[in-house]
Amino acid sequence: MNMAAQGIAIVQAFEQDVLAGLAAPQKTLPCKYLYDEVGSRLFEEICTLQDYYLTRTEADIFAREIQAMAEAIGPQVTLIEPGAGNCEKAEPLLRAMLSPAGYFPLDISPEILLAARQRIQRRTPELPIRPVVGDFTSHSVWRELPEIPGRKVVFFPGSTIGNFTPEQALALLSLFAEQLRPGDGLLLAADLVKDSVVLERAYHDSSHVTEAFNKNLLRRINRELDGSFNLDAFAHRAFYHRLRRRVEMHLVSLESQAVEVCGRQFHFDEGETIHTENSHKYTLAALKELLRSTGFQPQQYWTDHQQHYAIYYAEAV
Ligand code: AVJ
């Protein structure tokens, strides 16, 4: 599929997913739709916040261990990055890697991908870069990648894996494994289980950027799907669910109200929520088990001194 056709397919999926999600008993919206242009910018802002420890903790681990990671990955490898966004994490890794063979960033936002390609291409003109626009959870996107002759490593940083339920995470890593041959690799980052106060502050930051990020989904529905959401009639909520080991993000209706989307009406009770995101937290043991059960042999991990965050290298078996 070319980029324009891919764009149309994504708009149709958005409409279907929103209408189905708002019709469900527990209203829900897939978190991947948080990342339109405004949402992606707000997310980048979240990453700079003191309360949001994830990004800087990951960056510290990368800064300290990038050489070791590049060694684990090995020479002449093609790096594939699902959900690459602005591709800023891959750049230093590609520079540390020994003669990388290519870089394939996958993302649903063509604007961000194309800007990133220009930037990386300017700095490393000899590296073949091929952005692929689409949803990395769908099999069809992976079929767009050409045959890659040498070794491949899937690079999945940012603890994006946290947005998937345990069942979805199994399916996703299995999908990654399907793209790989024995000896290929996966470099996977995950946020670790920790004190709930620290966790909740990260998703309910004092500068209210996460609130804006969450509510932007309603603004996007208003704009793209002819929605009538009143943003002031919803509040941002984020809490850690200890048993499910995840932070849940919701939008709470502050009153009994009706909202229209694509000409259809949806009723909200006062206090009723739309579940907009899960952010699952892992123990090192759970992470290892996840890798083992999806066709990988865990090799090595790197973490920070507080064990807030981990990056695992695993080999496809
Ligand atoms: C992009 C999945 C890493 O779950 O921490 C940040 C998204 N949501 N603040 C996360 C997010 C609210 C984020 N990830």
Higher pLDDT, 11 or 249: 249
Query: How many angstroms does the Cα of residue 210 sit away from the middle of ligand 1?
Result: 9
pLDDT for res 246: 98
pLDDT digits (tens, 9 = 90+) for 77-135: 999 999 998 899 999 999 999 999 999 999 988 888 999 999 999 999 999 999 999 98
Indicate which residue's Cα is closest to atom 1 of ligand 1: 160
Indicate which residue's Cα is closest to atom 8 of ligand 1: 203
Indicate which residue's Cα is closest to atom 9 of ligand 1: 203
Query: How many angstroms does the Cα of residue 150 sit away from the middle of ligand 1?
Result: 33
Q: 10 Å Cβ neighbour count for 295?
A: 18
Ligand 1 nearest-atom number relative to CA 238: 12
Q: Residue 137, Cα to own-chain centre: how many angstroms? A: 11
Residue 129 exposure: Cα atoms within 13 Å on the Cβ side: 24
pLDDT for res 204: 97
Average pLDDT in the chain: 95
Cβ–ligand 1 distance for 189 under 6 Å, the answer no
Which of 129-143, 221-235, 252-266, 274-288 has the weakest average pLDDT? Answer: 129-143
Per-residue exposure over 39-63, b if at least 16 CB sit within 10 Å of its own CB, e if not: bbebbebbbebebbbbbebbbebbe
Query: How many angstroms does the Cα of residue 78 sit away from the middle of ligand 1?
Result: 27
pLDDT for res 10: 64
Cβ–ligand 1 distance for 35 under 6 Å, the answer no
Percent of the chain with pLDDT strictly greater than 90: 91
Which uninterrupted H or E stretch holds 11? helix 3-23
**Given the DSSP bridges, would you call strands 185-191 and 234-241 parallel, antiparallel or unpaired?**
unpaired
User: Which of 279, 280, 281 has most ligand 1 atoms within 8 Å of its beta carbon, as the pocket-test mutant?
Assistant: 279
pTM over 0.75: yes
